[in-house]
């Protein structure tokens, strides 16, 4: 954890945790945050109630924050299934939420070439409420920055732009966060979320037909990468293994079948074969 040497034009250098006096000073130089619908930009407090400070008004001293940001990127790449991709985070703006502020469900628009997702870094500022909820194909993930907001901790969350997300109403204090665009650095296959709905439907139909035909037998589907017991869970699967596992697990549940992730270890060696052979002779 490292505090950014952050200076805001019109306010000065920010101290942490950000107190009410500083928050009010930031509000004085901020402006109403719009939202984009289609190709048009709107300002409507019934849809989005928050204010922003543009990136050109923000400056970081030294290069320690850049190093910390690179560490965040290396942490989020495995969780997003992007180990083999080169990505970077480009500062977009600062957002400030006051009590009762919120943002209804929406998708992030592509703000620059190669953008595929968003990184939210919540700066230490005591508050309650204001949870970030990200949804995709019926799966919901919640980031609650309030838990660590008053303990000098920096929290962050990263998600794909295709996912719907919303900010629940803030109930007290201020949420002050830095918003970054996640951008694909090198050319190649575009980074995007993989929809598994069609695969789930097809697989569930196969499983159901097998049950109806009476041809019930166990299936083992091997994934493409190797895992240890410590890193073997759905969210920790690499690249294409994650959507494959999610499709199989959801299809099995839909068809009323039992499915379980497990590690498979294969042993091959002459000594093992000889031991088994001798055992059978003695028996």
Instruction: Give the CATH number, domain containing residue 79.
Output: 2.60.120.620
Residues 255, 118 share a domain: no
Quickly state the pLDDT bin for 14 (edges 50, 70, 90).
very high
* Least confident among 103-107, 258-262, 267-271: 267-271
The 10 Å Cβ neighbour count of residue 153 is 15
What mean pLDDT comes out for the span 227-239? 73
Which pLDDT score, from 0 to 100, does residue 23 have? 96
Whether residue 281 is predicted with pLDDT greater than 50 in this model: the reply is no
> Which tokens sit at 85?
């991709």
* 269 or 140, higher pLDDT: 140
Distance (Å, whole) CA 30 – CA 35: 16
Residues 204, 74 share a domain: no
Which pLDDT score, from 0 to 100, does residue 283 have? 34
* 136 or 183, higher pLDDT: 183
Distance (Å, whole) CA 58 – CA 87: 22
Is residue 41 in a domain? yes
Residues 265, 163 share a domain: no
Residues 236, 169 share a domain: no
Residues 65, 83 share a domain: yes
Which pLDDT score, from 0 to 100, does residue 280 have? 45
Whole-model pTM above 0.95? Answer: no
Residues 155, 40 share a domain: yes
Q: Is 50 exposed, middle or buried (CB count within 10 Å of its CB: 0-12, 13-18, 19+)?
A: buried
Q: Is 45 exposed, middle or buried (CB count within 10 Å of its CB: 0-12, 13-18, 19+)?
A: exposed
Is the CB of residue 189 less than 8 Å from the CB of residue 115?
no
What mean pLDDT comes out for the span 186-211? 76
Is the CB of residue 51 less than 8 Å from the CB of residue 30?
yes
**Mean pLDDT value across the chain:** 84
Nearest to 158 by CA among 89, 222, 208, 227: 89
Q: Which domain holds residue 223?
A: 194-283
Q: 194 CB contacts (<8 Å, ≥6 apart)?
A: 240, 243
Which pLDDT score, from 0 to 100, does residue 262 have? 83
Q: How far is C-alpha 171 from the geometric centre of its chain's CA atoms?
A: 24
> Which tokens sit at 58?
């923000």
Residues 151, 83 share a domain: yes
* 273 or 107, higher pLDDT: 107
What mean pLDDT comes out for the span 111-127? 92
Residue 77: phi, psi to the nearest 5?
-60, -45
Residues 264, 147 share a domain: no
Instruction: Please name the helix (run of DSSP H) or strand (run of DSSP E) that holds residue 129, with its range, or none.
Output: strand 127-129
Instruction: Provide the terminal-to-terminal Cα distance of the chain, rounded to the nearest Å.
Output: 63
Q: 156, 184, 212 — which closes off a domain?
A: 184
Is residue 189 in a domain? no
* 210 or 72, higher pLDDT: 72
The 10 Å Cβ neighbour count of residue 209 is 11
The 10 Å Cβ neighbour count of residue 5 is 14
Residues 124, 174 share a domain: yes
Q: Give the residue carrying structure tokens 């190669």.
A: 114
Q: 154, 184, 214 — which closes off a domain?
A: 184
Which pLDDT score, from 0 to 100, does residue 110 have? 81
* 77 or 39, higher pLDDT: 77
Residues 250, 177 share a domain: no
Q: 126, 155, 184 — which closes off a domain?
A: 184
Which pLDDT score, from 0 to 100, does residue 270 have? 53
Residues 216, 109 share a domain: no
Is residue 1 in a domain? no
Residues 242, 223 share a domain: yes
- Looking at the structure of the chain, the number of domains it has is 2
Q: 59 CB contacts (<8 Å, ≥6 apart)?
A: 6, 7, 8, 9
């Amino acid at each position: 954890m490292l505090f950014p040497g952050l200076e805001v034009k019109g306010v000065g250098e920010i101290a942490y945790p950000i107190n009410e006096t500083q928050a009010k000073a930031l509000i004085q130089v901020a402006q109403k945050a719009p939202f984009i619908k289609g190709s048009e930009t709107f300002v409507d407090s019934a849809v989005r109630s928050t204010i922003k400070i543009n990136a050109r008004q923000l400056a970081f001293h030294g290069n320690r924050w850049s190093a910390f940001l690179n560490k965040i990127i290396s942490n989020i790449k495995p969780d997003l299934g992007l180990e083999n991709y080169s990505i970077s985070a480009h500062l977009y703006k600062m957002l400030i939420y006051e009590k009762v502020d919120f943002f209804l469900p929406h998708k992030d628009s592509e703000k620059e070439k190669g953008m595929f997702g968003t990184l939210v870094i919540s700066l230490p500022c005591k508050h309650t409420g204001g949870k970030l909820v990200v949804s995709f194909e019926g799966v919901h993930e919640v980031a609650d920055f309030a838990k660590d907001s008053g303990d000098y901790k920096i929290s962050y969350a990263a998600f794909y732009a295709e996912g719907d997300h919303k900010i629940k109403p803030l109930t007290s204090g201020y949420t002050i966060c830095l918003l970054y665009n996640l951008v694909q650095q090198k050319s190649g296959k575009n980074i995007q979320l993989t929809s598994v709905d069609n695969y789930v439907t097809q697989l569930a139909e196969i499983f159901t037909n097998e049950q109806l035909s009476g041809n019930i037998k166990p299936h083992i589907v091997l994934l493409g990468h190797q895992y240890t017991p410590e890193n073997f869970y759905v969210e920790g699967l690499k690249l294409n293994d994650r959507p494959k596992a999610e499709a199989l697990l959801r299809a099995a549940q839909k068809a009323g079948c039992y499915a379980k992730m497990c590690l498979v270890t294969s042993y091959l060696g002459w000594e093992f074969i000889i031991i088994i052979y001798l055992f059978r002779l003695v028996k």
